[in-house]
Amino acid sequence: MRSRAALLSFLFVAVGLIGGCGDGDGEEETQAQLPEGCEQVEKPAPKDVELKRPKRLRPPPSGSVAVVETSCGSFEIALETKDSAKTTASFAYQVEQAVYNGTVFHRIVPDFVIQGGDPNGDGTGGAGYFVDEPPPPSVEYTRGTVAMAKTEVEPPGRSGSQFFVVVAADAGLPANFALLGEVSSGRGVTERIAEAGDPAAGQTGEPRVPVVIERIVLEPG
């Protein structure tokens, strides 16, 4: 039986784009779909990212946070540098290389997760390399947990650039996803982003409107 972990696999689906005529009615409909507190933005073009894994990845200092600035506001991730040294080091390196700037939350599943970090913007891309670091067996993916996404066929703890934030009380996922940290500030923003999801989209998580990650900034502890 497929687990809900399947929802966090990269998506290889063709999404039809519904074109509008650009009249007033279409603009009003878009405004109605936009969660309160979010800016109306265009979906960025795909980015060509092909990084080489550094010979030595150093985790950021203990207590470091990643400030995620989005078109729906900002939230902070307290990075789990102790138990996830390799994962947080890779994430920090990609932040420094501006991998996440100008990307989107391409997958928004209400009452489950919001997922972003793909330079391609459709769930098929990554940074150009991966790291492996299985999470602690006792990890639980509860509201506010931030972890790295992977395909079903990849081993536990593998991560590229894509990450997800749990917006459900408990996502019910097995301990397969590398732990990045926890939302320490701005959970209301992550809930707001979740409102951009379309319940009718099902497992694809195709958002009703674009939510852009403008940039991610590291702040040392």
| Burial class of residue 58 in the structure, from the number of CB atoms within 10 Å of its CB (0-12 exposed, 13-18 middle, 19+ buried) | exposed
Q: φ, ψ for residue 203 (rounded to 5)?
A: -70, -20
pLDDT tens column, 127-167: 999 999 999 999 999 999 999 999 999 999 999 999 999 99
Whether the Cβ atoms of residue 191 and residue 39 lie closer than 8 Å to each other: no
Whether the Cβ atoms of residue 205 and residue 50 lie closer than 8 Å to each other: no
pLDDT tens column, 170-193: 999 999 999 999 999 999 999 999
pLDDT tens column, 200-213: 988 789 999 999 99
pLDDT tens column, 15-47: 332 233 344 454 445 555 899 999 999 999 999
pLDDT of residue 69: 98
pLDDT of residue 16: 31
Smallest CA-to-CA distance from 65 within 77, 83, 82 is with 77
pLDDT of residue 154: 96
- Of the pLDDT bands very low, low, confident and very high (cuts 50, 70, 90), residue 2 is very low
Q: What is the mean pLDDT of the chain?
A: 89
In the chain, the domains with their CATH numbers are 4-219 (2.40.100.10)
More confident residue, 95 or 13: 95
Smallest CA-to-CA distance from 106 within 17, 209, 3, 37 is with 209
Average pLDDT over residues 73-93: 97
Residues 6+ positions from 78 with CB-CB distance below 8 Å? 63, 65, 181, 182, 183, 184
**DSSP 3-state assignment of 92?**
helix
91 pLDDT above the threshold of 50: yes
